[in-house]
Amino acid sequence: MPHEWDPEQYLRYGDERARPFLELTARLRAEAPRRAADLGAGPGTLTALLAERWPAAEVIAVDSSPAMIERARERPGIRAELADLRDWEPSAPLDVLVSNAALQWVPRHLELLPRLAGMLAPGGWFAMQVPGNFEEPSHTIRRELAARQPYAQHLRDVAVPSSHDAATYLRAFQDLGLEADAWETTYLHVLHGPDPVFEWVSGTGARPTLQALPDQLRPAFEEEYRARLRSAYADTGHGVVLPFRRIFAVGRRPG
């Protein structure tokens, strides 16, 4: 069963999720782009920042989730299109192409980069960010539970995210002829409330797993997942610290 994204759950930690986008797009030195696109734009909250930065540009938000695109269509200054980023094509070359926290869901996404870079106009910019925290307890605990019976038979083909290190993306961009930069940042998000790490992952990396479970199995899975996350991410009295590594790459096509 294909999973469905929930804009409300995703935006529960909207400020924290915005930080990598802001750091990524701060590296774009496009002065007056005519066309910009955000692939995997989700609810369009961050895409709208591109429209604010470049009000004369045509800004397009692309996402494969109908719920996300419905929300994105409420944002001023952008056009939202329902499409899979693997298949979407711009109507004209792009001056700015952004993909923030989306490509990790595309298997073998390095193979997609030549097509994406090919969308750029001369002098155009391509900026991407993917999580790099898949060996953290938030993910390893989920994988361990998902490998157990009676869950495993339902989760064998569930979508799971993956990514590469900054050096790999740097080489890939350079091989495409882009003037490239790549780096990584580990954010220390301080979260509050009951089971905040579970609330975070249930809106992103763990959502396909939770949705794939039958109704009679999901409560037991969630209960153990919550308990193990509470043990791995203890509240010290100042909130729960969630370390989150992000991988960035920015490239410019020579003019």
Express each pLDDT in 147-199 by its tens digit.
Answer: 999 999 999 999 889 999 999 999 999 999 999 999 999 999 999 999 999 99
May I ask the CATH architecture of the domain 7-252?
Answer: 3-Layer(aba) Sandwich (3.40)
32 versus 159: the higher-pLDDT residue is 32
- Choice among 12-16, 61-65, 105-109 with the minimum mean pLDDT: 12-16
| 3-state SS class at 94 | strand
Alpha-carbon distance of 197 to 57, in angstroms, equals: 37
Please report how many Cα atoms fall inside a 13 Å half-sphere around the Cα of residue 224, on the Cβ side.
13
pLDDT band at 15 (very low <50, low <70, confident <90, very high): confident
Whether 56 has a pLDDT exceeding 90, the answer reads yes
Place of tokens 């043990």: 231
Q: What's the pLDDT at 22?
A: 94
Beta strands in 117-226 (DSSP E): 120-131, 179-191
Considering the chain, what is the average pLDDT of its residues? 93
- How many Cβ atoms are within 10 Å of 138's Cβ, its own excluded? 23
**Containing H/E element for 250?**
strand 240-252
Give residue-wise pLDDT tens across range 87-124.
999 999 999 999 999 999 999 999 999 999 999 999 99
Residues in the chain: 255
Whether the pLDDT of residue 68 is over 80: the answer is yes
Can you give the pTM of this predicted structure?
Answer: 0.92
Distance of alpha carbon 41 from alpha carbon 34, whole angstroms: 19
Neighbouring-strand partners of residue 247: 130, 184
